[in-house]
Chains A and B, each alone.
Chain A
Amino acid sequence: MPERIVWPRLVLAVLAGVLASGAAVGLLATSAWLITTAAAQPPVLTLLVAIVAVRAFGVGRGFFRYVERLAAHDAAYRVLGETRSRITGRLEELAPAGLGSVRSGDLLARLLLDVDAVLDLWLRVILPVLVASVTALATVALLVVLLPAAGAAVAVAVALACTVVPWLTAHSARCAERAIAGHRGEVAAGATETLLTAADVVAFNATDAVLASFSAADARLAAAERRSAWSAGLGNALLVLCVGGASVAGLVLGSSADISGPVFAVLVLTPLALADALGGIPATAQVAMRVKSSLTRVQDLLSAPTPVAEPAKPHKLPVGRDLVISHLSAGYDGRDVLRDVGLTVAAGSRVVVTGPSGSGKSTLASVLLRFLEPSAGEVALGGVSLTDLSGDDVRSAIGLLTQESHVFDTSIRENLLLAKPGTSDLQLWRALYRARLGDFVLSLPNGLGTMVGEHGARLSGGERQRLAFARLLLADHDVLVLDEPTEHLDEETGRALLADLFAAAGSRTVVLLTHRPELAPHTTQPALVLP
């Protein structure tokens, strides 16, 4: 439901819309009366009111339509903004574990298309239906006054146009539309994947095969779209019959009734003007169908289970920073990757956890950062179980560096400020130099203002990682979890960076997860070896 601030705009939009459509009806009705009356050649003075009315209706339609459209669009965009930020808030709760199963291209397509559906719901369904039905009811009321039988006939036509026409449109569209959304997501995912893996595909001369599989998905989408073509046509055709039929009914009923000539002309011609008001009904039904499946999916997203339950009454963040991992098991989709792991990490110590790839090092990191709920056992920070602490509190104490940290498509400065807004450039440079990226950034013409590109594409793998290092150094964590941080760096740089990081960590705890423990300074035996 929209916020209160939107309501006046919605009411204004409906009011202006009714006046605009009403003016179209009024123009034809008064013109018909005027002309038929004039045929009897009365004095001009008797027609003055009608003449003024005809002109006023002529001017009013354009004006009110303009007001309606502006008010409606403004209101709908406001509703859209609200929905978008609500969705983002929800995604925030789900990330990262709750988003794992959604294909990224599909997710993006969903977000854009489904959330935009809210705009369509208001602009192209709710408002047009309200405007059309109010105008049609007013017209029926007018005709009932003139000749109840003809009014009743028009009422039937309007009722058909407002019920059977949209029902017919929606019914025949339903199955095909449901199919289209899936195919559309598939095509979006296929296009995204093809574009993201373009280099691999081209290098292995697999372009034809990949395009063929995309074409197959694309053909399925096109076929589904062709199937839905039947619906809109039927609705519009029935509408032509409704409006024209109302006019013919007026002609037949009026010709045998005891009414004046001008009234008769009004009865026959006024229904034709309803085409203007009712014309949008079939389209609204089709939009409503599409919007409905989108809104359902938005609803699904909003009600997806949260991977990590925030405690109802979070414990205060304890002062102690000792980490005690006891009998910990964790994994995804009911499959434990980590099984019965135990480890004690004293505050300020340096601990290395090692194991081959796939042994659960990243899973352990996820549990430590409270991105993942343990399936058994617990991790305690300063004597308090992580499950009793709020995720944000945990992450204010524990920081993480992964092997592929996300770099945002903005400037180097903005990427750093993310860790600690309001930091001075001097501090930023200090962090960059500690991460051994200072000289590189200094060599760039735009320095800190350099844009790094999508996913940091304009940086090399090593530069991206060092930027992430610098970012982590800026944040005030007491415990640093490093998940294979040297993966993409050459050995010498990796060793130096780890040394820098260990040094910069000072009194902070460092938990290094790596399959190459020999790179770590103060080489000790790994505290934990995962099988």
Chain B
Amino acid sequence: MKPLDPRLLRRAKAARGFLVGSVLIGVATGLLIIVQAVLLAHGITQVVLHGAAVGQVAWLLAAVLLARAVLVWVQEVVAQRAAAAVKSTLRRQVLEHSLKLGPAWLSGERSSALTTLLTKGLDDLDPYFARYLPQLVLAATVPAGVVGWMATGDLIAAGTVAVTLPLIPVFMALVGWATQAHSRRRQHALAVLAHHFSDVVAGLPTLKLFGRAKGQVTAVREVTDRHRVASMKSLRLAFLSSFVLELLASISVALVAVGVGLRLIDGKLGLETALLVLILAPEAYLPLRQVGAHFHASADGVAASEEVFRVLETPLPQRGERTDVPDLRVTPLHLHDVTVLYPGRDEPALEGCDLDLWPGEVVALAGPSGAGKSTVLAAVLGFVVPERGVVVAGASAADEFAPERWRAQFAWVPQRPGLRTGTIADNIRLGRPAATDTQVLRALAQAGASELDPAQQVGEGGQLLSGGQRRRVALARALVTEAPVLLLDEPTAGLDAEAEAAVVAHLRASGRTVLLVAHRPALLAAADRVVTVGSPKSLDAALTGSVVVR
């Protein structure tokens, strides 16, 4: 791992200012350390050799101490504020980029792993900013100054320190090299653990149904235990490297002390110089040792930030720039030989689908579960990039247009609608924030849900609503928009026959183009055409004649 990731400075402005401030504080700290050592050595020598009083020296020392304390305080405040700002910047960038990468990419990426990264993972950056980076700056400024000052008094001691000091970065590089992979693996193990937990918690009712929930107590213990054994293995190595580092630092101090002592006996050195060297020697090693000590804690943060950059550096899919999307109220939509292959699946989810959608018509997609009906809608929306084939509006391929402009032509009711915490009205306004209360109420009525109160809270994931109510809110959310084309994935599941009839009547009367996935006979009967998707090849009614005309 690099001691300092330049990407962090590039991505987060707060990190740059922090680094500059830290260097200034580091230089000042180095100077104060030397002044303090000089004063202490002078004071002790005066008393021991000359029996003099220490009055003035004591006051000066107090002043130096006060200055050092203020610097420590300022450094911490600056570091914590910088960490908060950097984390916030990265969190927003990651979430924004994830959304830009789109639902298809997100379904591959585990949402709980990303959540862990955005909370616990990034919080690991705190020690990186508060401890590691300032110490890194001190390590670059203090030892040079201290050794330089030592050299003016005792060249041999300064030489000893100067020779052993560079060994520490060498060992630090070893630490980095040895722990990087382990830290990344620990991060991964953490994410796996998080995922295991969330899967178990989400599935606890199911586990309980089969009398297996109690077994999870042992399972969780075993998983954590495996994590412990793996962690200890990596820590043994990580600590071994820092052990060598600590050892080197304290043995060098011991060597300097003994060497200085022996030269004093020989009369080659004065007491004041000897004391100065003794006080300064540990200070030369301290910042480097601290870097080593904080390295482990910060390595988690660095691994998290690398995970962040891995997300941020995932290139966005090619996006069209054209804004002149043809008006689908008057322009037909065609799918030509569209084949979609999801990553990790050998069989295409949708194979060679041809489909024409003329303005104002209601087309139903039929076919067995898993035939790729929902995939047709995803392909139209541009959520999946077809392996082969193309979606065309008028004379232009859909991917030539800016995605936002393209999607504004459609309103979608997914098979499992995702509702957001807030009121029913908030959810209905998702695609049209400016919708009036009247429009919201009308959309609810059109969706066969006039009994629902728009002010009612839906809870997280819409859990305060029943499955049928969620679907009707999602339908109202689509109907309230002014999109010319409705893409409906089983829009009337969970509705009784009466409500379904009302919805169907509205869809037909609205004059909008409708492409819907349907199982129910009432819906199929309401369509102008029924297109069968699936084995062996989806057949467009117009081409094959397998048309059910109303």
Contacts and interface: CB of A to CB of B under 8 A. Distances in A.
B180 to A, nearest CB: 19
Contact of B214 (A89, A194, A400): A89
B369 A461 contact: yes
Given A80-B224, A81-B221, A70 B374 contact: no
B98 interface: yes
A108 B112 contact: yes
A493 B204 contact: no
B205 A371 contact: yes
A455 B461 CA distance: 14
A67 B91 CA distance: 37
B240 interface: yes
A157 to B, nearest CB: 12
Contacts of A105: 115, 460
B393 interface: no
Nearest to B102: A202
Interface stretch (B78-86, B145-153, B351-359): B78-86
B260 interface: yes
- The dominant DSSP class at the B interface is helix
B199 A85 contact: no
A47 interface: yes
A35 B115 contact: no
Chain B CB count within 10 A is highest, among A188, A189, A240, A443, for A240
A219 B88 contact: yes
B232 interface: yes
A454 to B, nearest CB: 6
B370 A460 contact: yes
Contact of A55 (B218, B258, B412, B494): B258
A36 interface: yes
Contact of B253 (A27, A211, A218): A27
Contacts of A197: 418-420
A34 B258 CA distance: 8
B467 A84 contact: no
Interface in B311-369: 342, 344-347, 366, 368-369
Contacts of B208: 92, 95-96, 371, 391, 395
A62 B111 contact: no
Nearest to B43: A251
B394 interface: no
B60 to A, nearest CB: 10
Contacts of A419: 210
A409 to B, nearest CB: 5
B115 A268 contact: no
B467 A222 contact: no
B183 interface: no
Contacts of B13: none
Interface residues of B, number: 164
B368 to A, nearest CB: 7
Interface stretch (B243-251, B437-445, B503-511, B536-544): B243-251
A371 B205 CA distance: 9
A222 B73 contact: no
A79 to B, nearest CB: 10
B53 interface: yes
B489 to A, nearest CB: 9
A331 interface: no
Given A104-B460, A484-B467, A251 B44 contact: yes
A78 B229 CA distance: 10
A64 B438 CA distance: 74
A211 B95 contact: yes
A488 B467 CA distance: 11
A255 B47 contact: yes
A91 interface: yes
A214 B420 CA distance: 12
A193 B275 CA distance: 62
Interface string B147-174: 0000000000000000000000000000
Chain B CB count within 10 A is highest, among A88, A192, A391, for A88
Contact of A404 (B220, B232, B404, B467): B467
B519 to A, nearest CB: 3
Contacts of B111: 192, 195-196, 454
B228 A84 contact: no
Given A85-B221, A225-B83, A261 B48 contact: yes
A241 interface: yes
B130 interface: yes
Nearest to A229: B80
Contacts of A403: 467
A334 interface: no
B545 interface: no
B463 A65 contact: no
A236 B76 contact: yes
Interface stretch (A110-118, A148-156, A498-506): A110-118
A42 B266 CA distance: 10
Contacts of A70: 232, 235-236, 239
B54 A252 contact: yes
A27 B250 contact: yes
B40 A251 contact: yes
Contact of A51 (B214, B224, B261, B274): B261
Given A81-B228, A194-B99, A240-B65, A487 B197 contact: no
B467 A228 contact: no
A419 B210 CA distance: 6
Given A187-B118, A461-B416, A230 B213 contact: no
Report the 4 A-B pairs with minimum CB-CB distance, sorted nearest first: A462-B369, A58-B254, A357-B468, A197-B418
12 contacts: A36-B44, A39-B264, A59-B251, A62-B250, A66-B246, A95-B213, A111-B201, A196-B461, A204-B412, A204-B430, A240-B68, A251-B61
Given A204-B412, A222-B85, 8 more contacts: A55-B254, A108-B112, A109-B115, A191-B118, A225-B80, A264-B48, A272-B279, A358-B468
